[in-house]
């Protein structure tokens, strides 16, 4: 048995691209930057090294999510890895991407994206008969890799 699960948290590197297959299935593509922290051998200082991860989401959820994502948004993603290879202009090419099963909007950069820190704002206002419930904002927590004991 093998397990193919991925959990990443990072910022969108570009605005998402929504397209449809010939069969009408919605496909959302976007990139997420995830930092890897390593100690520099010469200086002894911790440094961030970015990893750029291609992500793809399918179906009606992909179309709905596309309205709320913009470059710079912080997201948490759960999904699985998919390897693809092809040939273009006589050269073999390949890529490893995350097929998104779940996505959580964590925050936005500069208030973009239709939601605020940790909350979700619907695209349309709530009906006048029922007042909208306030969105709870979790307290900010400053935790860094060097604070974690393992």
CA 5 to chain centre: 15
1 falls within a domain = no
Give residue 38's pLDDT: 92
pLDDT for position 117: 43
Residue 96, in any domain of the structure: yes
According to DSSP, residue 118 is labeled: T
Q: What is the mean pLDDT of the chain?
A: 81
Structural domain containing residue 85: 6-147
Are 85 and 93 in contact, with CB atoms under 8 Å apart? yes
The pLDDT of residue 107 is 75
Q: What is the pLDDT of residue 73?
A: 94
Q: Which residues of the chain have pLDDT under 70?
A: 108-150
Total of domains in the chain: 1
pLDDT, tens digit, for every residue of 109-147? 444 444 444 444 434 344 444 555 555 555 555 555 565
Q: Residue 63: which of 99, 109, 121, 18 has the closest Cα?
A: 18
Residue 94 in any domain: the answer is yes
- Spatial distance between the Cα atoms of 111 and 102, rounded to a whole number of angstroms: 22
| Three state DSSP letters for 40-109 | CCCCCCEEEEEEEEEEEEECHHHHHHHCCCCCCCEEEEEEEEEEEEEEECCEEEEEEEEEEEEEEEEECC
Spatial separation of the C-alpha atoms in residues 11 and 70, rounded to whole Å: 10
| pTM higher than 0.85 | no
Give residue 112's pLDDT. Answer: 47
Q: Give domain status of residue 43, yes or no.
A: yes
**What CATH number did the domain enclosing 55 receive?**
2.40.50.140
């Amino acid at each position: 048995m093998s397990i193919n699960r991925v959990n990443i948290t990072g910022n969108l590197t570009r605005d998402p691209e929504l397209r449809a297959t010939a069969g009408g299935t919605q496909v959302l593509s976007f990139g997420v930057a995830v930092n890897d922290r390593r100690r520099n051998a010469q200086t002894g200082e911790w440094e961030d090294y970015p990893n750029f991860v291609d992500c793809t989401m399918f179906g009606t959820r992909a179309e709905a999510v596309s309205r709320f994502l913009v470059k710079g948004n912080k997201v948490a993603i759960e999904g699985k890895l998919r390897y693809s290879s092809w040939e273009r202009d006589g050269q073999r090419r390949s890529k490893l991407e995350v097929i998104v099963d779940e996505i959580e909007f964590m925050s936005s950069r500069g208030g973009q994206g239709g939601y605020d820190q940790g909350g979700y704002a619907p695209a349309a206002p709530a009906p006048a008969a029922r007042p909208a419930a306030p969105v709870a904002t979790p307290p900010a927590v400053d935790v860094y890799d060097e604070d974690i004991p393992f």
